Structure 1
Amino acid sequence: MKQMVGRARARWAAAATRYLVVLFLGVTTFSATGADAQSFTFNAVSIEGNQRVADGTILTFAGISRGQTVTAGELNAAAQNIRGSGLFSSVDVVPQGGTLVIRVVEFPTVNRISIEGNSQVRDAELLAVVQSQPRRVYSPSQAEADVAALTEVYLNKGRINAMITPRIIERSDNRVDLVFEVTEAGVTEIERISFIGNRSYSERRLRGVLETKQAGILRAVIGRDTFVRDRIDFDRQVLTDFYQSRGYADFRVQNVDVALTRERDAYLITFNVQEGQQFTFGNVSVSSEIVGADVAEFTAALRTRTGATYNPVSLENDIARLERLAIRKGLNFVQVDPRITRNDRSLTLDVEFALVRGPRIFVERIDIEGNNTTLDRVVRNQFRVVEGDPFNPREIRESAERIRALGFFANANVEAREGSSPEQVIVDVDVVEAPTGSLSFGANYNSDTGIGLLASFRQSNFLGRGQALNFQISTAETNRVFTFSFSEPQFLGRDLRFGLDLSYRTTDNENALYDTETFSFRPGFTFPVSENGRLGVFYAFDYTDLTDVAESASPIIIAEAAEGSVSTNAIGYTYSYDTRRTGLDPNSGVLLRFGQEFGIGDSEFIKTTALAAAETKVWNEEVTLRATIEGGFLSYSKGDSRVTDRFFLGSRTMRGFEAGGIGPRDANTDDALGGNTFAVARLEAEFPIGLPEEYGITGGAFIDYGSVWDVGNLRGVSEDDILYNDFTPRTVAGLSIFWTTPIGPLRFNFTEALDAQEFDNPKSFDVTISTSF
């Protein structure tokens, strides 16, 4: 018995000794004096538990080799390094005498990844944001990141209560299926967008500026009625641009309050704004610190005028004009510094455009990346500078805007960095390409031609050359049309657009006793002649024929058909002046267009067309007013016009009448003959009608006044047999409903002919709709 007690005491003493030794080593190893107090040397390394990962790979992670003397702290760091590889769920590094034992438990391999429970968002869209991949090691941290990414997808779609739960289904051979279980919940829409501090503009007008929209009846197909934080940041900027372009230089968005309703089923967004006062331009002048700069010449180049409403875009455009003028004058490294003096009493801003000497920096090179399809030259053509030119930051920013405006890229970043020396810069262009082609089949409806089917192919970046290629075939109740067009916007590397248009059309006139066949071939060039003006020159070949002419048709048409098919050659030009997009007044725009076509060869004629249109917003920009004057004149010096050449007024030119419903017509057959001259004036107003603006429905009122007349050669028919061959004006008034829908803008016109002739063909309603499916 005593022996047994003695042996027990001995074992207890030995265990206590080992415990004290371990405790001493632990205190020694991890005490405040440092982890290096204990050191180990290993002659062998034993790795246990690994199945897929090789021993050598684990040793590489550990960073310990045989015979190396390491401290306890280094052993702990080795274990952390192995864990940091993300391949193991647990790692133990245990010294056992001269052997280092590394025990690991590997993460399983992902067998497959699936999404379950989703019905409103497709699997493909969700799996696109999942970074975990099949046949890769499962990582819990990556799975958590995937849950966050999936939740963000639902958040951007307005489903803020969606829940994503990752599940692991164990399979054989240390494999798992990773399943993301989704509970989608309902859409949390934007119930109301309101403003605080707005005095000059109504909430309706300001909501129309924002990209974010309130939920409406089209919430099922309009995605802008959900809350996206990045979109709110964009809206802050567009609100600022809106006010500053209208003279409110001190405008600020103080904060945007985004709140959920108590039921968490809708957002309430409030923009707290500070408008400030509206300023106008005071004294506008130019000063120069540059030797050789003619101040008077630079002053004449300004477009900003005293008394005009302050607009930062006006300043930017004038700065660009002066800098371009300096370059044309051979004055390099000139910068324009706008010095603004504020006059709070008169609410004016005096602007002095100072010409100052900028740093001598040159463009070393332009690097373009990300354009896998688009050729480099397409991007380079948007730059007005080349390698070796003086560096102008403003020109680089404008080039970036031109690159984005191409529509070829989902994203385009242009940045400048220092080159091989402080006097050199490298311009980096990083683009992400976007789809530029489409193949569509659809249907359309037009009140003039009826229902039709169409097929079209469009490519705006053909073969990555920046060229546009369009092909379309359409068939309607009364016509069949084939069109082909091609354009090269940078012909020979210059700002010169080459265009080629082909069209073939046949008509089955329901309102006439004949059919037509036409073919047109038109190549041409278009180039800028001023900031807002462009000039186009072209050659035109036209083939026309009258077919299936009934014996009861008008004698004029029968005589014209007897001439057979006619081919004409012509050259012409078109000048256009358009400020709707580039103008300085955000509320107004002007479009002027004038063109002439000169027939040569067997038919000699002059065909002149002109259009002048203006648009402005009034009553705090709630109402849009439009005015248009349009006309045309066809005169032959050799040959005569035919029904295929003369003007007809469709509903887009003169509302309230059927196609060919007004103008000269045969008194006996009622055939519309068209006219060599037409003139139309259109006045129109568009305004809200009290419906929530998120519905996209507004009202309008219009009045049209005009006529078409002068058949020309009557081919032996008595003038008494031709109705309305002289100027006989018509007047039409009407109401419109504008509806902006996801399939395109619709317009419904309800018309009443205030002044029509007896044999005219008026109509009281028309609609234009176009859709693809």
Structure 2
Amino acid sequence: MHRFVGRLLAQGGATARRIATVAVIATFTAGAAFAQSFVFNNVSIEGNQRVAVGTILTYAGISQGEALTTAGLNDAAQAIRASGLFESVDVIPSGSTLLIRVVEYPTINRINIEGNARLRDSELLPFVQSQPRRAYNPTQAESDTAAITQAYAQQGRINATVTPSIIPLSDNRVDLVFVVTESAVTEVERISFLGNRTYSDSRLQRVLDTKQAGVLRAIISRDTYSPERVAADRELLTDFYNSRGYPDFVVQNVDVALTRERDAYLITYNLREGQKFAFGSVTVTSEIEGLDPAPFQDAIRVRQGATYSPVPIETDITRIERLAVNRGVNFLQVDTRITRNPRDLTLDLNYVLVPGPRIFVERIDIEGNGTTLDRVIRNQVDVVEGDPFNPREIRDSARRIRALGFFQDVAVNARQGTTENQVIVDVDVVEGPTGSLSFGANYNSDTGLGLVASYKQSNFQGRGQSLSFDLSTAETNRNLSFSFSEPALLGRDLRMGLNLAYSTTDNENALYDTEKFRFSPSLTFPVSENGRLTLQYAFDYADLTDVSASASQIIINEAAIGSVSTHSLGYTYSYDTRRSGLNPNAGVLLRFGQEYGFGDAQFIKSTALVGAETKVWNEEVTLRATLEGGHLAYQEGTSRVTDRFFMGSRVMRGFEAGGIGPRDALTDDALGGNAFAVVRLETEFPLGLPSEYGITGGAFIDYGSVWNVGETFGETVIYDEFTPRAVAGLSVFWTTPIGPLRFNFTEALQSEEFDNTKSFDVTISTSF
């Protein structure tokens, strides 16, 4: 100000001198005003009806006899306004009395939402922070309006409008009403890609969580636009390309545009694939004095010539770190140093063992788990208090906690502890729904139409235990089952299972009924990285009842044995690489099990399955091959129709239940067999339909048989020896909200005279 006045005076003009003089006077006047202070002996408050005088004085922060400047009075007024209780506030000094005049906001009597049909009140009211019996605040009402509008936007209704209004009532009360004008869903009409040379648009669309709007738009919510989902889709695309040998892949940008009618989104991903690389030389070196890298070289699994992927690198680093801990080497850190060879498109990989910072875990804090017990979460965290801190273990722990499926959101972070060489691990979770109760109907081409009821809970009482109860009744059978499992028995990687099953059947292919009961506890534990071993005990009860006199004499003789109770001890070994992620395009499943029975009968029951799956032609076509078989051998007693194998459509397609295998030559009753084997070869491929329909095609060939009745009681049995059958067919796969359905159209290429074939069935699609 003084420099400004000086410049004006230097100009010498009369007008300038007058302006300067006024400015100086104003400056001194303002200074005097701000310097003025007031002292009040009394405070008078007017206009308050609901808010107490003491509350207003507390907001104002004014004490009797305190000296206040004009600025202090203004601060007091602003503090009262900030309470959100008053529509207007005036603070007026009057001699030794300070007058505070307020106009209170009305009290909210009730809150209504009108005009909403697509979203219920129960879905929208949680977004409203205004509360009945509290003061109405226009700012909060506007915030609530924005929250309701955003809720509609998340449902894809971006053109929905929400208008707040108040209805005055007596006693300074109002009803707060949010008037909603709903709009149609603004769907994702098209998802396209630029720069993709290796993979087609349809293949990349299947990677994304966001889907194009299709015939199931009324059920599937993933065809609505969500910025958060698009951000996650960028990561999905990056992971997809990286794991298939494209380390330089990048999503350059995502263009999101509305159609002219503002009723649909057009999403375009601009990609740069880069070149595909393979692993070159893979070595381990050590920069830690006295540490020999040779034992760590043996631990790596990445091999020269394999397609580049960060997944096996992460797996190798985990192996190296665990080996270091086992050898007593703490605070080891693995640096991956990659050398590019552009000429032959390979990446030389060197795992460098370097000293890591000496940091320890001080404690682990778990927050947000209102239902799930702390120990369930801690079982997924490999580190404990006092352990050396390993960031990789923390990331792996977060992945394992998410994999539980109990939480909507999981965040695992480390922060500075009480000292520089300590960290605190914070595990923050948001509980999600883990139970389901359902009633409905289903259809199976083998058993017909049925009614079902089920209850499932994957986090029973917050203990991480799973519990399920299923009841179903169909035209030919009734089933009741109960299962319970504890995934971490005694706090270890040891799963305890308990299964109960009861079933009765009215077999339409033979004139008899069956009744079966099974009780089976089990223990499952890992024996290798991809291998699991299950040990189990089982008690089985089986009975044949209501056997018609016109039924097979073999079945009549088996029914005459009466009810049979057996005990068995068994094991099942499984080796599964489908979930390891080391090869995203292929997987192998091996499963072999045996049961050793004793009691009313002594037997050995063996079953085995070998399956493989791979994707070809830029992952557009899936090839599957499965070999499955079983054998039942009795040392004492004999097998009955309740024990033997039958070839249903799950095992071999193209035949009715009990449609192939040994049969009574006189009555044509299916008897089942003590042995079966089948080879299933199939392919799945796109049909050229939009990917959002979830419809693909397939072709298959099944070849196999079931044979060997065992004791025939002198009766004539046909097809008791291995008599192979062959079936070819076409499939339509349809991914629906109720599950993946499979429609099979079959033709028997090789069958026997008394086989019962069928040309169509529908099942729930399953992997091998």
TM-score by length of 1: 0.94
CA RMSD of aligned residues (A): 1.7
- Partner residue in 2 for 1:746: 741
Q: How far did 1:66 drift?
A: 2.2
- Secondary structure of 2:73's aligned partner: helix
Contact 1:28–1:35 (8 Å) recurs in 2: no
Matches within 5 A, 1:641-652: 641-652=639-650
Q: How far did 1:297 drift?
A: 2.1
The one of 394, 403, 406 aligned to 2:392: 394
The one of 724, 729, 732 aligned to 2:724: 729
Matches within 5 A, 1:139-150: 139-150=137-148
Contact 1:568–1:599 (8 Å) recurs in 2: yes
- Partner residue in 1 for 2:632: 634
Query: Partners in 2 of 1:48 and 1:105 — Cα distance?
Result: 9
Contact 1:444–1:452 (8 Å) recurs in 2: yes
**Counterpart AA for 1:177:** D
1:613 aligns with 2:611: yes
1:765 aligns with 2:760: yes
Q: How far did 1:292 drift?
A: 5.5
Query: Partners in 1 of 2:439 and 2:217 — Cα distance?
Result: 26
The one of 26, 47, 50 aligned to 1:49: 47
**Percent of aligned pairs with the same residue?**
72
The one of 465, 473, 485 aligned to 2:463: 465
Q: How far did 1:30 drift?
A: 7.3
- More divergent stretch after superposition (751-760 vs 389-398): 389-398
Q: How far did 1:140 drift?
A: 0.9
- Partner residue in 1 for 2:687: 689
Contact 2:564–2:600 (8 Å) recurs in 1: no
Query: Partners in 2 of 1:692 and 1:416 — Cα distance?
Result: 44
1:79 aligns with 2:74: no
The one of 415, 420, 423 aligned to 2:421: 423
Contact 2:565–2:599 (8 Å) recurs in 1: no
The one of 527, 535, 538 aligned to 1:537: 535
Q: How far did 1:583 drift?
A: 3.5
Matches within 5 A, 1:228-627: 228-291=226-289, 293-627=291-625
**Counterpart AA for 2:88:** S
- Partner residue in 2 for 1:179: 177
Query: Partners in 1 of 2:312 and 2:560 — Cα distance?
Result: 60
Contact 1:29–1:36 (8 Å) recurs in 2: no
Task: Count residues with an aligned counterpart.
Answer: 744
- Partner residue in 2 for 1:215: 213
TM-score by length of 2: 0.95
Q: How far did 1:369 drift?
A: 2.0
Query: Partners in 2 of 1:222 and 1:707 — Cα distance?
Result: 41
Residues 67 and 354 from structure 1, CA distance in 2 versus in 1: closer, same or farther, beyond 3 angstroms? same
Contact 1:29–1:37 (8 Å) recurs in 2: no
Query: Partners in 1 of 2:242 and 2:355 — Cα distance?
Result: 29
Query: Partners in 2 of 1:43 and 1:547 — Cα distance?
Result: 101
Residues 44 and 729 from structure 1, CA distance in 2 versus in 1: closer, same or farther, beyond 3 angstroms? same
- More divergent stretch after superposition (64-73 vs 179-188): 64-73
Matches within 5 A, 1:181-196: 181-196=179-194
Query: Partners in 2 of 1:509 and 1:458 — Cα distance?
Result: 29
CA offsets per residue over residues 233-278 of structure 1, 9 Å max, x none?
0111101111111111001101100111111111111100110001
Residues 497 and 35 from structure 1, CA distance in 2 versus in 1: closer, same or farther, beyond 3 angstroms? farther
**Counterpart AA for 2:593:** G
Query: Partners in 2 of 1:69 and 1:388 — Cα distance?
Result: 57
| Runs of at least 5 residues in structure 1 that lack an aligned partner in the other structure | 1-22
- Secondary structure of 1:428's aligned partner: strand
Q: How far did 1:463 drift?
A: 2.0
Contact 2:683–2:698 (8 Å) recurs in 1: yes
Contact 1:606–1:635 (8 Å) recurs in 2: yes
The one of 659, 662, 671 aligned to 2:660: 662
**Counterpart AA for 2:39:** T
Q: How far did 1:518 drift?
A: 1.0
Query: Partners in 2 of 1:537 and 1:39 — Cα distance?
Result: 87
Query: Partners in 1 of 2:549 and 2:680 — Cα distance?
Result: 38
CA offsets per residue over residues 427-462 of structure 1, 9 Å max, x none?
122222222222221211111111111221212122
Query: Partners in 1 of 2:36 and 2:617 — Cα distance?
Result: 85
- Partner residue in 2 for 1:133: 131
- Secondary structure of 2:325's aligned partner: helix
**Counterpart AA for 2:428:** D
**Counterpart AA for 1:765:** F
- Secondary structure of 1:298's aligned partner: helix
Query: Partners in 1 of 2:491 and 2:155 — Cα distance?
Result: 44
CA offsets per residue over residues 537-572 of structure 1, 9 Å max, x none?
111111111111111221211111111111112111
**Counterpart AA for 1:746:** L
**Counterpart AA for 1:125:** E
Query: Partners in 1 of 2:55 and 2:551 — Cα distance?
Result: 93
Q: How far did 1:65 drift?
A: 2.0
- Partner residue in 2 for 1:151: 149
